[in-house]
Structure 1
Amino acid sequence: MEENKGFENLNVWQKAHSFVLNVYKYTKAYPKDELFGLTSQYRRAAVSIAANIAEGYGKKGINDKLRFYNIAEGSINECRYYVILSKDLGYVNAIESLTLYSELIVVQKLLSSYSKSLVRNTTTNY
């Protein structure tokens, strides 16, 4: 079996990166007085998802990998709240909100499956 060439080949990272790009696209239209508030926090949390997946991928030990994936999971939940808040504040419409929320659920499910497969493969190799 050919080894993965990098985190960029992980489907979960690709979906997380796509989410980040959408967050940047939508938050461009947020009010300017949110630049150092919600806009900044939302972008930081979104980037944290993809960045922690990438960083965890590069770790050698399973516990280190899972720690970074757990941090990414926390950032997913943080972004879920920002999606809800953005809709409630009227910064995104219902369709945009549903799009972002759906993307997050996909990333969350992929990350959970990926983490479980790593644990399963690690325990079966011993």
Structure 2
Amino acid sequence: MAHYNSFENLEVFKKARIPSLNVWELIQTTALKKDFELRNQINASSGSIMDNIAKGFGRGGGNKEFVNFLGYARSSYRETKSQVLKCLDRNYTSEDSFQKINNQAQELTDQLGEFSNYLKNSEKRRSKFD
């Protein structure tokens, strides 16, 4: 794996931006923007996916600690998925839009799992994934 000095260069982080952007578009273009509680929850959880990757990268606790934060990112994805389902149930989004967000986020959670497994099995310990 390449040497990374910044979380922004990680492919998994780049992919983590997509659910947050999709959720923001949903908020801005639907009646969800008036459902303040759900809007705030889904905005926070979708942003938390990428935030946890950044936090885990920046901590000095080694691969194990980073893997924990990647797990938190996956949990935030699941929370976001639940909230997007609420949006679907409340007719803020269509089934097609839900599937688009869900499929992109599922790709991300798969990638998070693969990256976690790489870190767990890596002999290199926190050398920025050389």
TM-score (norm 2): 0.86
**Counterparts in 2 of 1:121 and 1:44: CA distance versus 1, 3 Å:** same
**Counterparts in 2 of 1:59 and 1:122: CA distance versus 1, 3 Å:** farther
CA distance in 2 between counterparts of 1:94 and 1:23 reads 14
Partner residue of 1:106? 107
CA shift for structure 1 position 30: 2.7
CA shift for structure 1 position 11: 1.3
Number of residue pairs aligned between Structure 1 and Structure 2 = 123
Q: Which runs of 4+ in 1 moved over 6 A?
A: none
RMSD: 1.9
Partner residue of 1:80? 81
CA distance in 1 between counterparts of 2:26 and 2:16 reads 15
Give the SS at the match of 2:5.
Answer: coil
TM-score (norm 1): 0.88
CA distance in 2 between counterparts of 1:31 and 1:83 reads 10
Counterpart contact for 1:30–1:39, Cα < 8 Å: no
Partner residue of 1:4? 4
CA distance in 2 between counterparts of 1:122 and 1:30 reads 50
Greater CA drift, 80-89 or 101-110 = 80-89
Q: Could you give the per-residue CA deviations for residues 81-114 of structure 1, whole angstroms, max 9, x where no partner exists?
A: 1121111111001111111001110110000000
Q: Which has the higher contact order (CA 8 A, sep 6+)?
A: 2
Counterpart contact for 1:62–1:122, Cα < 8 Å: no
Q: What letter corresponds to residue 53 of structure 1 in structure 2?
A: I
* 1:96 correspondence with 2:102: no
CA distance in 2 between counterparts of 1:44 and 1:65 reads 21
